[in-house]
Amino acid sequence: MTKVPFFRPDITDVEISAVSNALREGWLTTGEKARSFEDHFAEKVGSKRALALNSCTSALHLALKVLEVGPGDEVLVPAIGFASSAEVVVHLGAKPVFIDVAKEDHTVDPDVIVSAITPRTRSIIVVDFAGQPAKLNAILDIAHSHNIKVVEDAAHALPAKYHDSFVGSISDITCFSFYSTKTMTTAEGGMATTNSDEWAEGMRLMSLHGISKPAWLREKSKRPWHYDIKTLGWKCNMPDLAAALGLAQLSRLDAMTDQRRAIAKLYLQAFQEQDYFECLLERPECEHAWHLFVMKLRPGVLRIERDQFLQEMNEHGVSTSVHFIPLHMHTYYREKYGYQPEDCPVSLSVYQNSFSLPIYSAMTIEEAERVISVVMEIGQKYRR
Ligand SMILES: *Cc1c(COP(=O)(O)O)cnc(C)c1O
């Protein structure tokens, strides 16, 4: 029995020759390829500016920093999210205030945001869970009327659309991930997009030690050794080697997206009608990127709980995952801020009942059909 892994990277000769060429050309670190990747990416998502970085985590960090989040501030963070969205807030000396998600789509509801805003709230991080955009118009309206900025964690949402606009062109700053398992990859990498030149320049400066002119631009100047440190920075630039991989993946992004959509469609057809599973709501104003396919066990319908269900899946050769263990339930945040699991009750129940099936562009339709038959077999075996 062949196994269906939870993920397999989608690397073709296009990527291999792009990276080989970059190696032969000899400029390995940040240079013209990174710039070109930024330009093509900005064009793809319709944003004015794009800044290539070494991770989405760095993009979130620089975004909050350029928005002047600092000590004494609060940042609203969805409890169903990854470590990055919370840790960058703490690193800037601010407090992450965890907010609950909606059970229909696991993104945050605007009215939850309204009730969590205090005079200290400086920014809101929204997560486009699984690849479906959050309710961005309402969230941006609320935030801007309180003079709060919205940083979108779009690590799952490339390419995704909301009311005909691509994610990346909508929020104040949007952060993407090119981590190996995301919808496209640079092995490790990230991108921040914005329509503000000021924020884009500020983030660029901080991404390379606050140095006025990076090496690849100095090389062509009269005094290539000269630079000035304008502000306190970090080191999170994207090397050209990674950007070469990114450019190749970007050229195949639409084709890769089509394959994930085809798999999502098969899954939805098979699972939507079953009474033991609940699929997440696909909102009509959104075009989903299908980075993840998340489902929930309806409590009480099966004789087994989620963990045993996933163990059986594994025994039948299908790898699965859970997205996510809620941030407010992790030791660090419990001990530092005193959070209790019940503080975000929907996130707690999402965590207890949900699971993610394999979905990726290198996956075949036959593999997807195998996943479906294994899910159905276990479902029927344990039905009450
Ligand atoms: C993967 C992921 C990140 C982190 O991306 P990196 O590029 O690894 O820093 C952030 N947020 C979410 C929701 C993610 O899934």
Q: Name the residue type at position 342.
A: E
- Residue 221 is predicted with a pLDDT of 83
3-state helix, strand, coil split of the chain in percent (to 5) is 40, 15, 40
Look at the pTM and tell me if it is higher than 0.75.
yes
CA of 191 to the centre of ligand 1 (A): 11
Ligand 1 atom nearest to 190, measured from its CA:
7
Per-residue pLDDT at 174 exceeds 90: yes
Q: Average model confidence (pLDDT) for the chain?
A: 96
Mean pLDDT confidence for 61-89: 98
C-alpha distances in Å from residue 357, one per residue of 20, 56, 198, 220: 33, 23, 41, 50
* Contact call for residues 18 and 186 (beta carbons, < 8 A): no
Dihedral of alpha carbons 128, 134, 137, 139, sign: negative
Indicate the pLDDT class of residue 289, thresholds 50, 70 and 90. Answer: very high
Q: Where are the beta strands (DSSP E) in the chain?
A: 49-53, 74-78, 95-99, 121-127, 149-153, 161-162, 165-166, 173-177, 190-194, 277-279, 286-287, 293-297, 354-357
Per-residue pLDDT at 14 exceeds 90: yes
Distance of CA 352 to the CA centre of its chain: 22
Distance (Å, whole) CA 19 – CA 293: 30
Mean pLDDT confidence for 182-205: 98
Q: Find all residues with CB under 8 Å of 331, minimum gap 6, and list them.
A: none
For residue 278, what are the β-bridge partners?
A: 296
Indicate the pLDDT class of residue 354, thresholds 50, 70 and 90. Answer: very high
* Contact call for residues 169 and 161 (beta carbons, < 8 A): no
Indicate the pLDDT class of residue 374, thresholds 50, 70 and 90. Answer: very high
Q: Known catalytic residue: 149?
A: no
- Residue 353 is predicted with a pLDDT of 96
Among 125, 177, 180, the mutation site with the greatest number of ligand 1 atoms within 8 A of its Cβ is 177
CA of 176 to the centre of ligand 1 (A): 8
Among 6, 54, 56, the mutation site with the greatest number of ligand 1 atoms within 8 A of its Cβ is 56
* Contact call for residues 99 and 346 (beta carbons, < 8 A): no
Distance (Å, whole) CA 276 – CA 253: 34
- Nearest residue (CA) to ligand 1, atom 8: 179
Strand (E) or helix (H) holding 348: helix 345-353
Mean pLDDT confidence for 327-332: 98
Q: Which of 182, 220, 222, 296 is catalytic?
A: 182
Q: Comparing C-alpha atoms, which of 197, 192, 175 is closest to residue 127?
A: 175
Indicate the pLDDT class of residue 384, thresholds 50, 70 and 90. Answer: confident
Per-residue pLDDT at 291 exceeds 80: yes
- Residue 78 is predicted with a pLDDT of 98
Q: Name the residue type at position 9.
A: P
Distance (Å, whole) CA 174 – CA 154: 6
Among 54, 152, 153, 236, the mutation site with the greatest number of ligand 1 atoms within 8 A of its Cβ is 153
Indicate the pLDDT class of residue 286, thresholds 50, 70 and 90. Answer: very high
Mean pLDDT confidence for 123-142: 98
Q: Comparing C-alpha atoms, which of 293, 349, 360 is closest to residue 326?
A: 349
CA of 379 to the centre of ligand 1 (A): 31
Structure confidence by residue, pLDDT tens digits, 39-56: 999 999 999 999 999 999
Mean pLDDT confidence for 354-369: 98
Structure confidence by residue, pLDDT tens digits, 264-275: 999 999 998 888
Encoded tokens for 7: 């993920």
Q: Comparing C-alpha atoms, which of 371, 378, 263 is closest to residue 320?
A: 371
Structure confidence by residue, pLDDT tens digits, 134-159: 999 999 999 999 999 999 999 999 99
Q: Comparing C-alpha atoms, which of 384, 383, 355, 382 is closest to residue 371?
A: 355
b/e per residue 45-68 (b: at least 16 CB within 10 A): bebebbbbbbbbbbbbbbbbbbbe
CA of 276 to the centre of ligand 1 (A): 30
Indicate the pLDDT class of residue 119, thresholds 50, 70 and 90. Answer: very high
Q: State the DSSP string of 292-346.
A: -EEEEEPTTTBSS-HHHHHHHHHHTTB--B-S---GGGSHHHHHHH---GGGSHH
Structure confidence by residue, pLDDT tens digits, 205-248: 999 999 988 787 887 788 888 899 999 999 999 999 999 999 99
